[in-house]
Amino acid sequence: MTEETLSNLLHENRRFEPPADLAAAANVKADAYDAAAADREGFWAAAADRLSWATKWDRVLDWDNPPFAKWFVGGRLNVAYNCVDRHVEAGLGDRVALHWVGEPVEDRRDVTYAELQAEVSKAANALTSLGVATGDTVAIYMPMIPEAIFAMLACARIGAPHTVVFGGFSAEALGSRIEDFKAKVVITSDGGYRRGAASPLKPAVDEARGIASRSGHDVEKVLVVRRTGQDIAWDESVDVWWHDVVDSASPEHTPEPFDAEHPLFVMYTSGTTGKPKGILHTTGGYLTQAAFTHWEVFDLKPESDVYWCTADIGWITGHSYIVYGPLANGATQVLYEGTPDFPERGRWWQIIAEKKVTIFYTAPTAIRSFMKQGQEIPDRHDMSSLRILGSVGEPINPEAYVWYRHVIGGDRTPVVDTWWQTETGAIMISPLPGVTAGKPGSAMTALPGVTAEVVSDEGVAVPNGSGGYLVLTSPWPSMLRTIWGDDERYVDTYWSRFREEGFYFAGDGAKLDEDGDLWVLGRVDDVMNVSGHRLSTTEIESALVSHPKVAEAAVVGATDPDTGQAVVAFVILRETATADGVDLTGIEKELSDHVRSQIGPIAKPRQIMIVPELPKTRSGKIMRRLLRDVAEKREVGDTTTLADSSIMELISAGQATST
Ligand code: WT7
């Protein structure tokens, strides 16, 4: 972000007060901040009390061995029981848990809490019959169909940690996650629907199984939901149809309580190195904070609200704010399989009107793309049911915020800009819809019970009007517990930047405005944010370098009006690839397709530039700042620390002729 846009943002002075009726009836009021500050552990204990525990904890927080936290020590509970059975026991079995909307226009399925209980129980029994025991790991690679949620909850019910891998990830990415997680079973489907066509998933699982197997890990069973009916390869010794084993299983299953620190799931996310990190979340603290923040930030009234979060279950947002938070709260929600604009550009708005959605949670990149299409499209639909709008994944620019509030929210709805991360497990910084006078573009302040600060290089809190590093200064219930199998990397990655102060460093830069409200500016490390998805520069560089024609690669995130940032790659080809007479036409596409197959379509570079050299310092570090200047078509900045200062001229010249 340039200084100029930043100062425009900081001079943003529109304020939106909460609607009076919403404020009066809000789940969480202003006094929560003080209450939490006076007794943070007591505050979280009260939040944990919203759940049903088989055994109460004897200690709220064990921080004796930082940064390894234990919350609700000695407590025992079952996550699936909390998300399903207890609502049925409370007489809410007929309440709709999921209004599932398929991509094919006629496809609908409502699942009540009673039905959810039967489906999850059947799936839990089936997993047990396939040999999955407490502590065994399961990978889930599925489209947005109800079975994906049944599968996650079934795993939670039997204490089998899951890792959900986004269906848009490649076989390679799936294989390395299966291998790292040592998944015993993979749950998938034959395919899913994407823009009107059946798109396969199972073949990627077959390939991933081979990849894992070559590095010494064998998957025992693959459980396959029939969704599209397309032809797929079948290995009798491994593959099992969901309808064969789940449909015939008993709908009765007694959930066993697990320790509050029992692993619930691992979510892989990109870091600054090539290898994705398995972020571990555990049982009691995670569910406490996912459920509490969902009720708090969206002011959920489970008896009357219809909630819809458009994320995919393959991301942390889908875990905390589709599956665990909302279901623990007994919410009624929309689950949608398709893309926003298929078969027509008003599809989302049509669904909001049809299901009378009251709370809607999506990402700025989607809002910006709708802004481009114009107001006429949403204006064709009656969205007067909406009362709260949420945003997540990247900074929301004030114009998009105002458009969202005005066009989608009819100027009635507070917009909550929620800052958090895979690692934090739950929303950390956000306005409260019944309390905060919202400021377009600002995530405002840390939620009650959360202590965030913006600090200088030396770890000292900056004054209002200044910028610095965003840190969390005390542990929170839904914090990651470690990186799966790598405690050392956990300590190094998150707790070493401000080791002495004992701060968790989030990797983001932020500013406090004159009122002390917080503006998240984006990553300060080698992590990009493309359409709200986190991508690692190093991971894409490794993918490029694994191509036989590539000698070296450097990747930067360039500012992009639609996706926030976009991937731009600078590539040096091997001499054999550039030898006289070798035809280089189509090389950019070849490399781009290679990245797609190694990681997935989301990592595909917007642009690939073939260059003769990369700008490096005398110690050999690539100066990405200069490459970003080229990618964003700016004049190249200070090159005095380059080992060879003529290189930028070569790169810029090549850039001028190649486009
Ligand atoms: C990174 C975390 C957590 C859900 C989705 C992404 C950026 C997230 C915001 C926001 C500004 C945001 C940060 C963060 N981010 N929400 N409201 N304002 N930036 O999860 O993949 O773990 O990425 O997304 O840079 O560090 P994730």
Identify whether the C-beta of residue 426 lies closer than 8 Å to the C-beta of residue 296: no
Local confidence band at 643 (pLDDT 50, 70, 90 cut-offs):
confident
Half-sphere exposure of 14 (CA within 13 A, CB side): 12
Q: In terms of C-beta density within 10 A (0-12 exposed, 13-18 middle, 19 or more buried), how is residue 214 classed?
A: exposed
| Mean pLDDT score, 159-169 | 97
Rounded Cα distance between 56 and 293, Å, is: 21
Is the Cβ atom of 594 under 6 angstroms away from ligand 1? no
Centre of ligand 1 from the C-alpha of residue 218, in Å: 34
Q: Given a cut of 80, is residue 3 above it in pLDDT?
A: no
Question: Which residues, listed in sequence order, are joined to residue 388 by a DSSP beta bridge?
Answer: 359
Classify the phi-psi angles of 346: left when phi > 0, otherwise alpha if psi is within -120 to 50, otherwise beta: alpha
Name the residue among 582, 562, 568, 560 with its Cα closest to residue 611: 568
Q: Given a cut of 50, is residue 546 above it in pLDDT?
A: yes
Is the Cβ atom of 316 under 6 angstroms away from ligand 1? yes
Name the strands in the sheet holding 332-336, side by side, starting at the edge strand that comes first in the sequence.
Answer: 108-112, 96-101, 332-336, 306-309, 359-362, 388-392, 415-418
Rounded Cα distance between 77 and 283, Å, is: 8
Local confidence band at 622 (pLDDT 50, 70, 90 cut-offs):
confident
Identify whether the C-beta of residue 479 lies closer than 8 Å to the C-beta of residue 505: no
End-to-end CA distance of the chain: 24
Is the Cβ atom of 475 under 6 angstroms away from ligand 1? no
Q: Given a cut of 60, is residue 656 above it in pLDDT?
A: no
Rounded Cα distance between 338 and 145, Å, is: 10
Q: What is the mean pLDDT of the chain?
A: 94
Q: Residue 653: what pLDDT?
A: 75
Taking each helix axis from N to C end, the angle separating 587-598 and 537-545, rounded to the nearest 10 degrees, works out to 120
226: annotated binding-site residue? no
In this prediction the pTM is 0.92
Cα angle value 561/567/571 (rounded, 5°): 140
Q: Residue 68: what pLDDT?
A: 98
Rounded Cα distance between 276 and 267, Å, is: 10
Is the Cβ atom of 507 under 6 angstroms away from ligand 1? yes
**What does the DSSP 8-state code read for residue 617?**
B
Over residues 263-286, the pLDDT tens digits come to 999 999 987 777 889 999 999 999
Name the residue among 95, 115, 506, 51 with its Cα closest to residue 324: 51
Q: Given a cut of 80, is residue 590 above it in pLDDT?
A: yes
3-state secondary structure of 25: coil
Identify whether the C-beta of residue 289 lies closer than 8 Å to the C-beta of residue 478: yes
418: annotated binding-site residue? yes
Q: For residue 522, give the ligand 1 atom closest to its CA.
A: 25
Rounded Cα distance between 302 and 46, Å, is: 19
Q: Given a cut of 50, is residue 657 above it in pLDDT?
A: no
Quick one: which H or E segment has residue 232?
A: none
Residue to mutate (ligand 1; options 392, 397, 418, 430; most atoms within 8 A of CB): 392
Name the strands in the sheet holding 452-455, side by side, starting at the edge strand that comes first in the sequence.
Answer: 452-455, 467-472, 504-512, 518-523
196: annotated binding-site residue? yes
Name the residue among 187, 80, 189, 192 with its Cα closest to residue 140: 187
Rounded Cα distance between 76 and 53, Å, is: 6
Q: Return the number of other C-beta atoms located less than 10 Å from residue 604's C-beta.
A: 20
Contact partners, residue 90, CB within 8 Å, separation at least 6:
330
421: annotated binding-site residue? yes
Q: Residue 1: what pLDDT?
A: 42
Rounded Cα distance between 529 and 191, Å, is: 27
Is the Cβ atom of 277 under 6 angstroms away from ligand 1? no
86: annotated binding-site residue? no
Over residues 298-340, the pLDDT tens digits come to 999 999 999 999 999 999 999 999 999 999 999 999 999 999 9
Q: Of 6-10, 240-244, 484-488, 507-511, which range is least confident? A: 6-10
Quick one: which H or E segment has residue 223?
A: strand 221-225
Contact partners, residue 623, CB within 8 Å, separation at least 6:
615, 616, 617, 639, 641, 642
* Exposure letters 532-564 (e unless 16+ CB within 10 A, then b): bbbbbbbbbbbbbeebebbebbbbbbbbbeebb
Local confidence band at 8 (pLDDT 50, 70, 90 cut-offs):
low
Q: Residue 12: what pLDDT?
A: 57
Omega into 18 within 30° of 0, i.e. cis? no
Rounded Cα distance between 139 and 124, Å, is: 15
59: annotated binding-site residue? no
Q: Residue 634: what pLDDT?
A: 85
**Tokens, residue 396:** 């929301």
> Diameter of the chain by CA atoms?
77
| Mean pLDDT score, 604-608 | 95
| Mean pLDDT score, 64-84 | 98
Using only C-alpha atoms, what is the Rg of the chain?
25
Q: Of 4-8, 29-33, 149-153, 442-446, which range is least confident? A: 4-8
**Greater confidence, 5 or 490?**
490
Q: Whose CA is nearest to atom 3 of ligand 1?
A: 421
Rounded Cα distance between 43 and 464, Å, is: 27
Centre of ligand 1 from the C-alpha of residue 491, in Å: 21
Contact partners, residue 170, CB within 8 Å, separation at least 6:
204, 596, 597, 598, 599, 600
**Tokens, residue 142:** 């599925």
Q: Given a cut of 80, is residue 141 above it in pLDDT?
A: yes
Q: Given a cut of 70, is residue 5 above it in pLDDT?
A: no
Q: Residue 659: what pLDDT?
A: 37
Is the Cβ atom of 421 under 6 angstroms away from ligand 1? yes
Rounded Cα distance between 424 and 5, Å, is: 28
Over residues 363-422, the pLDDT tens digits come to 999 999 999 899 999 999 999 999 999 999 999 989 999 999 999 999 999 999 999 999
- CA of 455: how far to CAs of 6, 317, 430, 462, 469, in Å? 18, 27, 19, 5, 5
Q: Whose CA is nearest to atom 17 of ligand 1?
A: 419
